[in-house]
Amino acid sequence: MDKQVNRGSLEMIAAMLISGTIGWLVMLSGLPVIDVVFWRCVFAAVTLLLVCACMGLLRPGLLTRVTLLLAVASGLAIVGNWLLLFASYSRASIAIGTAVYNVQPFMLVGLAAIFLGEKLTLQKLAWLSVSFLGMLAIVGAHGSQEQGGGDYLLGIGLALGAAFLYAIAALIIKKLTGVPPHLIALIQVSVGVLVLAPLVDLSSLAHGEQVWSILITLGVVHTGGMYVLLYGAIQKLPTALTGALSFIYPVAAIAVDWIAFDHRLSMLQWLGVAAILLAAAGMQQGWGLRIEGWRRVGQ
């Protein structure tokens, strides 16, 4: 069992570190966001098709008409999520976009309360308040940005939109219990190919060797390979450990943004980022406060 947990931990760490470099490759490509997402979906679809074939997941009977439609709907949300998140990078920076994106657990809680009838506890509301204060700190720091304040606020809005679409996708996926996750991922990226193909200028394919290397890496490694590592880790790890290790992703993205693009956060932005990540971690791990002599209780 310990070996399984250790292996799952290594897979999760690798998946999160890979995810943390996505923004760097997106910016390095220099391509329009639609082109980046389209080619990411193309190369990811090829990779996941091979993975699903090797795992025997292409046999009939795994999907009903309803589950297929739900998977397609989640794909539309995921592709929209990528478009908005990638667009936020050039406006608010990778670090800020990624930090703001991590409010999505709270959006999922809200959507689950509305549509699934899940209980909204005082503990979750408390962490939501901490996250909201972090958002206010980040929004209030726009005056110190090199970009125009309007661009910075637009970047934050795009990241929030991406988080909302991810929460919708997660809510839909909750209805797909029993459907292999690798197959869901294949459907999602295939939807991206079909939806974005009419919007991409396929006549101008001479991007250069470096750009194609970036696009292939985004599709094969940062999508196909990352999904395989992530889902493998989720199957091996306790939920609490999975949630804890997931915070390697925003930390890695912030570090990459600083190293690759020298984007340094102001003190107010650091406070905002810390508040959002602390709140998300607190909610996922079930941390809380019990008013009994002001003693903190851990769960």
pLDDT of residue 239 exceeding 70, the answer is yes
Q: Are 200 and 34 in contact (CB under 8 A)?
A: yes
pLDDT of residue 290 exceeding 70, the answer is no
Query: Is 52 within a domain?
Result: yes
DSSP assigned state of 296 = E
Query: Is 83 within a domain?
Result: yes
Query: Is 87 within a domain?
Result: yes
In sequence order, the β-bridge partners of residue 296 are 289
The string of pLDDT tens digits covering residues 243-285 is: 788 889 999 999 999 999 998 888 888 899 999 998 888 887 7
What's the domain count of the chain?
A: 1
pLDDT of residue 193 exceeding 50, the answer is yes
Query: Is 299 within a domain?
Result: no
Q: Which tokens in the block code for residue 23?
A: 């923004």
Residue with tokens 């991206």: 192
Q: What is the pLDDT of residue 234?
A: 85
Range of the domain at 108: 3-57+64-285
- In angstroms, the CA 212 to CA 29 distance is 9
CB within 8 Å of 270: residues ≥ 6 apart: none
Residue 297: phi and psi, rounded to 5, are: -115, 135
Q: What is the pLDDT of residue 195?
A: 97
* Kind plus residue range of the DSSP H or E element containing 10: helix 2-20
CB within 8 Å of 212: residues ≥ 6 apart: none
pLDDT of residue 295 exceeding 60, the answer is no
CB within 8 Å of 165: residues ≥ 6 apart: 77, 78, 80, 81, 84
* Kind plus residue range of the DSSP H or E element containing 297: strand 296-297
pLDDT of residue 206 exceeding 60, the answer is yes
The string of pLDDT tens digits covering residues 215-233 is: 999 999 999 999 999 998 8
Task: Report residue 291's pLDDT band, with 50, 70 and 90 as the boundaries.
Answer: very low
Query: Is 294 within a domain?
Result: no
The string of pLDDT tens digits covering residues 91-141 is: 989 999 999 998 888 888 888 888 878 787 888 888 888 898 988 888 876
Q: What is the pLDDT of residue 292?
A: 40
Q: Which tokens in the block code for residue 126?
A: 């408390």
If you average pLDDT over every residue of the chain, what do you get?
87
- In angstroms, the CA 35 to CA 207 distance is 11
Task: Report residue 144's pLDDT band, with 50, 70 and 90 as the boundaries.
Answer: low
For the chain, helix, strand, coil in percent to 5 are 80, 0, 20
Q: Are 18 and 239 in contact (CB under 8 A)?
A: no
Residue 258: phi and psi, rounded to 5, are: -70, -45
Q: What is the 3-state secondary structure (H, E, C) of 163-189?
A: HHHHHHHHHHHHHHCCCCHHHHHHHHH
Query: Is 293 within a domain?
Result: no
The string of pLDDT tens digits covering residues 52-88 is: 999 999 998 899 999 999 999 999 999 999 999 999 9
Query: Is 292 within a domain?
Result: no
Q: Give me the torsion for CA of 129, 135, 136, 141, rounded to 10°.
A: 160
pLDDT of residue 14 exceeding 90, the answer is yes
* Kind plus residue range of the DSSP H or E element containing 289: strand 288-289
Of 168 and 143, more confident = 168
pLDDT of residue 20 exceeding 70, the answer is yes
Q: What is the pLDDT of residue 143?
A: 52
- In angstroms, the CA 163 to CA 101 distance is 5
| Average pLDDT of the residues in 168-197 | 93
Task: Report residue 180's pLDDT band, with 50, 70 and 90 as the boundaries.
Answer: very high
